[in-house]
Structure 1
Amino acid sequence: MDPHLLSTFVTVVAEGSFSAAADRLGYTQPAVSQQIAALEADLGVPLLTRRPVRPTRAGERLLEHAGPLLLRLRAARADVARLSAQPRALTVAAGPLALTADTAAALAGVTTLRIAGAATAVALVASGEADLALADGPAAPSDPLNLPDTGPLTTVGVREEELVVVLPEGHPLAGRPGLRLDDLADALWVDAPEVMPLDRLRAVARLDGLRPGIRYEGHDPAVAARLAAAGHGLTLLPASAAPCGVRVPLVAPRIVHRVELVHAALPPGPAAEVVRALTS
């Protein structure tokens, strides 16, 4: 399977039209149509309906493979390029909840900080767009995060922290010494995909429910806490990242907020010094 054709297919699906994909890729529309036709001929099945442009059942299945396959190809290219790479300014990709005062202090020598979710941060390292990633998310104690398979990267646990449920003042559960997540499954929640994604929380807790009350698309955990404190929905945050509202420890299921450092092979120099500072 030609990865160039696969990349074009992913772009057509993302843009929802052949013409928009052509504009994004810098091709003509007939060229994009020819590439999709070549991929369909190679696989022997139609991958897209034309009006409207949507993936067929086979196309949806191919999409499940496409992201990891294309990422692994970018990762392979970046891994080989690192063997002869010259020293450069350091870039770190990190989740907003991964940045405590201690981790920020350890970033001496870093030129660029990119805020990104765990999967995106790891993909940036794998593809050579970032030198280090601080990936974070909910996990069972001592369990690794569920990160994408990107090839030969090193992952080291940096810290784990207790999670608290943030409630508004006067909430009926505000006086509890601890809360169980299954008791809150029918409550409304702040849906903050860049801070504490509800889908990841459901997966880790093996729990349905957790209905969104308001959606917050920013990166600031303090905003998610303020929305919860104002009664727009509950939220779950590391204790150190919840500056307001009533904070009640989560006692079941046993879930912590975990931060992991992800990096490729590092030569001696600034990047290795940052790794030592973060893992000491």
Structure 2
Amino acid sequence: MDLRLLSSFLAVVEEGHFGRAAARLFLSPPAVTQHVRRLETDLGTRLLHRTPVSPTPAGERLARHARTLLAAADAALDDVAEADPAPASAAGRPLRVGIMGHGSAELTPASVNAFRRARPHVAVELRQLDFTEHVSALVEDRVDVAFVRPSPDDDRITSDVLTTEQRIVVVPESSALADARGTGARLADIADLPFFRVPGRTPRSFTEYLYFGSTARRRSTDFALTPQEVLTGVVTGRAAGSGLKSFARYYAWPGAVFVPVLDAPRDSSYLAVRTADRNPEVQIFRALTLALAKELGPRISE
């Protein structure tokens, strides 16, 4: 039996409301509804009365078993962790979560909060990463997991796709390209934009992502290491930036205009971890994030 379905069902029983259960689980209400329906189909019986929301006799019995099964699953995770403990250097320390820019949009806080609920005894530290760190922060053991883009090109790092989105450019309102905010532009239209520069130590995969794969694009005299520095350059008319579509929801600065690039390949955000890391908390965080990505990722990618 799928434990995710049981978790959604039990949340609805305990909250007495599909919407509150969805908020508690950081899922959409339709996803929770679908989980309950799948359980009812699998078991061949109705588990919940809908108006008002309350368990049927069969649902009451399942709720008792669900609590036992979910508790057993948590105990199994703890037991496995004890049998194959993390290296001494990782034992007892916080889980350090690196976030580049806005990470994977709404999925980032949902993953962090889901981990905190699942592992309340493990402290979590959030660390902001700049454009040069999407490989080095993990390799140098400054973070344990990282929300980055694009995928790090390094055998020491394993990454999973979380969201896949349309690409955008960011220009000042005074730019002629600003009029294309509603209709979109093409790669040929952005060839002469003065894109900001990044330091020489920035991984090549990241610079190719920033400049849409063309190192020949015109560069501003301004350097930037963070989205805030990019936007400062944009609104003062000194540089242009690029990103994923969700960037616009998180960095809606006055004076900055976000223009879709219609013929640029869609790109992704990733969760990256050290390939050889045996820390069970890292594996739990990764599993929770991938499960949430299946639920939230398609909505973010629209």
| TM category, shorter | 0.5 to 0.7
Contact 1:94–1:134 (Cα < 8 Å) also in 2: yes
Report if the CA contact (8 A) 1:192-1:198 is conserved. no
Query: Could you state the TM-score of these two structures normalised by the residue count of structure 2?
Result: 0.51
CA distance in 1: counterparts of 2:154 and 2:238, whole angstroms: 32
8 Å CA contact 2:167–2:264 kept in 1: the answer is: no
Q: Which residue of 1 aligns with 2:247?
A: 241
Correspondent of 1:261 among 264, 269, 272? 272
- Check whether the contact 1:92–1:114 (CA below 8 A) recurs between aligned residues: yes
Counterpart Cα distance in 2 of 1:254 and 1:133: 23
Normalised TM-score (structure 1): 0.54
* Cross-structure match for 2:223: 215
CA-based RMSD: 3.3
Larger fraction in strand = 1
* Alpha-carbon shift at residue 154 of structure 1 (Å): 3.4
CA distance in structure 2 between the partners assigned to 1:202 and 1:169 by the alignment: 21
8 Å CA contact 1:189, 1:235 repeated in 2: yes
CA distance in 1, matches of 2:247, 2:230: 10
Residue 251 of structure 1 corresponds to 262
How far apart, in 1, do the equivalents of 2:243 and 2:134 lie? 20
Query: Which residue of structure 2 aligns with residue 134 of structure 1?
Result: 147
Counterpart code for 2:108: T
CA distance in 1, matches of 2:131, 2:233: 23
Aligned residues: 187
Q: Is the 8 A contact 1:166 1:229 kept in 2?
A: no
Name the counterpart of 2:69: none
Alignment check: 8 A CA contact 1:157 1:261 kept: no
Find 1:114's aligned residue among 107, 112, 127: 127
Instruction: Give the 3-state SS of the residue equivalent to 1:252 in structure 2.
Output: coil
Q: Describe the SS at the equivalent of 1:209.
A: coil
Report the AA paired with residue 274 of structure 1.
Answer: F
**Cα distance, 1:202–1:169 mapped onto 2, change above 3 Å:** closer
Identify if the C-alpha distance between structure 1 residues 255 and 182 changes in structure 2 by more than 3 Å, giving closer, same or farther.
farther
Matches within 5 A, 1:1-280: 82=86, 86-98=91-103, 100-107=105-112, 108=116, 109-117=122-130, 120-137=133-150, 145-150=151-156, 153-176=157-180, 177-191=183-197, 199-201=207-209, 205-217=213-225, 219=226, 221-242=227-248, 243-244=252-253, 245-264=256-275, 265-268=277-280, 270-280=281-291
C-alpha contact (below 8 Å) 1:155/1:260 kept by paired residues = yes
Instruction: Please state how far the C-alpha of 1:246 moved relative to its aligned partner.
Output: 1.9
- Rounded Cα–Cα distance in structure 2 between residues aligned with 1:164 and 1:199: 15
Aligned residues of 1:191 and 1:197 also touching (Cα < 8 A): no
Separation of aligned partners in 2, 1:122 and 1:178: 32
Give % identity.
20
**What is the rounded CA distance, in whole Å, between the counterparts of 1:215 and 1:126 in structure 2?**
24
| CA distance 1:235–1:116, change in 2 (3 Å) | same
Gap runs ≥5 in structure 2:
1-84, 117-121, 292-302
Question: What amino acid sits opposite 1:132 in the alignment?
Answer: V
Answer whether contact 2:211 2:242 (CA < 8 A) is retained.
no
Change (3 A) 1:86 1:121: same
Q: Quote the offset at 1:237 in angstroms.
A: 2.1
Q: Deviations over 1:172-229 (max 9, x none)?
A: 22222122233322221233568x9983347752351231242234x3x244234313
1:103 CA displacement: 0.6
Q: Structure 1 pair 197/180, CA: closer, same or farther in 2 (3 Å)?
A: farther
CA contact (8 A) 2:87 2:279 kept: no
Structure 1 residue 249, shift from structure 2 partner:
0.2
Q: Write the deviation string for residues 217-274 of structure 1: whole angstroms up to 9, x where unpaired.
A: 4x3x244234313322221122222313221101223242432332444454x43332
Q: Which has the higher contact order (CA 8 A, sep 6+)?
A: 2
Task: Report the counterpart of residue 42 of structure 1 in structure 2.
Answer: none
Letter in 2 for 1:86: A
Structure 1 residues 199, 169: CA separation in 2 closer, same or farther (over 3 Å shift)?
same
Query: Secondary structure of the residue that 2:262 maps to in structure 1?
Result: strand
User: What is the letter of the counterpart of residue 130 of structure 1?
Assistant: V
Using the alignment, how far apart are the partners of 1:117 and 1:182 within structure 2?
Answer: 28
**How far did 1:94 drift?**
2.9
